[in-house]
Amino acid sequence: MSNRILVINPNSSASCTAGMAAAMAVFAAPHLAPFEVVSLPGGPPAIATWRDWYSVGEPLAQMVEREAAAAYIIGCVSDPGLEAARMATSKPVLGMLRCAVAAALTRGERFGMIGFMETSRPRQRRVLQSMGLEARLAGFIPMNLPMETLTDPIAPRARIEQAARELAAQGAESIVLGCTGLASHAKAAEDAAGIPVIEPCQAAGLAALLAVAGGRTVTS
């Protein structure tokens, strides 16, 4: 379906893919491009290391070549394979981390990040450096939990709330959830911190809708 926005989860976690689909469901409307959330065949259990990050680049690009869509979203908050996927299509390809950081900076000058693993820090730092925004990061707190624990609606909740409070105390004016597995915990983190929390699936979803609509003529 060429009018869809295809969200590709590069890992093989079914609960992570389901969480992304639930986050994108808020955009379902007759006048908007439909979202379809899929997993990358053969992807690792999580994008936890540089090796995981590099391993999905070419498969993501090949999937973009095979699957027609109006726009694509890389469903990982370290934007793996983004540049390769952009070379595979003339359609918009968006990275969730870049979209979430852009959204965070509409809410304040400095932002914090709740990360997946400590090993995520250098990959996400690389993205911030490419955006020229590393100095705007107030703090980074990794959860260091398995993906299946992170996506559980209860198990990681207290730890996420504590991290959100710590980031607010460190001077963050908004918080970026640094893993798609955290999608269902956005409201709890925001309530705990008392500052805006940016959920990257929805940040990228909004950006994709704008990108798709950008070439259309608006009529009354």
Could you give the maximum distance between any two Cα atoms of the chain, in Å?
A: 50
Asked whether residue 89 falls in the same domain as residue 14, the answer is yes
Asked whether residue 170 falls in the same domain as residue 128, the answer is yes
Overall residue count recorded for the chain in this entry: 220
| CATH code of 115's domain | 3.40.50.1860
Cα separation, 203 vs 1, whole angstroms: 23
Query: Residue 215: is its pLDDT beyond 60?
Result: no
Q: Positive or negative, the Cα torsion across 127, 129, 132, 138? A: positive
| CATH code of 91's domain | 3.40.50.12500
Q: 219 in a domain, yes or no?
A: no
Q: Which domain holds residue 28?
A: 5-95+202-213
pLDDT digits (tens, 9 = 90+) for 194-209: 999 999 999 999 999 9
Q: 60 in a domain, yes or no?
A: yes
User: Which residue, among 184, 176, 185, has the nearest Cα to 204 in the 3D structure?
Assistant: 176
Asked whether residue 76 falls in the same domain as residue 129, the answer is no
Q: 220 in a domain, yes or no?
A: no
What's the pLDDT at 214?
75
Q: 126 in a domain, yes or no?
A: yes
Q: 108 in a domain, yes or no?
A: yes
Pair 215, 102: CB distance under 8 Å: no
For every residue of the chain, which 3-state class applies, written as one string? CCCCEEEEECCCCHHHHHHHHHHHHHHCCCCCCCEEEEECCCCCCCCCCHHHHHHCHHHHHHHHHHCCCCEEEECCCCCCCHHHHHHCCCCCEEEHHHHHHHHHCCCCCCEEEEECCCCHHHHHHHHHHHHCCHHHEEEEEECCCCHHHHCCCCCCHHHHHHHHHHHHHCCCCEEEEECHHHHHHHHHHHHHHCCCEECHHHHHHHHHHHHHHCCCCCCC
Asked whether residue 61 falls in the same domain as residue 146, the answer is no
Query: Residue 188: is its pLDDT beyond 80?
Result: yes
Asked whether residue 76 falls in the same domain as residue 102, the answer is no
Indicate the pTM of the whole model: 0.92
Asked whether residue 72 falls in the same domain as residue 102, the answer is no
Asked whether residue 22 falls in the same domain as residue 85, the answer is yes
What's the domain count of the chain?
2
What's the pLDDT at 217?
46
Asked whether residue 91 falls in the same domain as residue 20, the answer is yes
What's the pLDDT at 213?
87
Q: 218 in a domain, yes or no?
A: no
Q: 129 in a domain, yes or no?
A: yes
pLDDT digits (tens, 9 = 90+) for 91-133: 999 999 999 999 999 999 999 999 999 999 999 999 999 999 9
To the nearest whole number, what is the mean pLDDT of the chain?
94
Give the C-alpha distances (Å, rounded to integers) separating 104 from 28, 81, 107, 110: 23, 23, 5, 8
Asked whether residue 209 falls in the same domain as residue 158, the answer is no
Q: 124 in a domain, yes or no?
A: yes
Asked whether residue 76 falls in the same domain as residue 116, the answer is no
pLDDT digits (tens, 9 = 90+) for 12-37: 999 999 999 999 999 999 889 999 99
Asked whether residue 118 falls in the same domain as residue 78, the answer is no
Asked whether residue 102 falls in the same domain as residue 196, the answer is yes
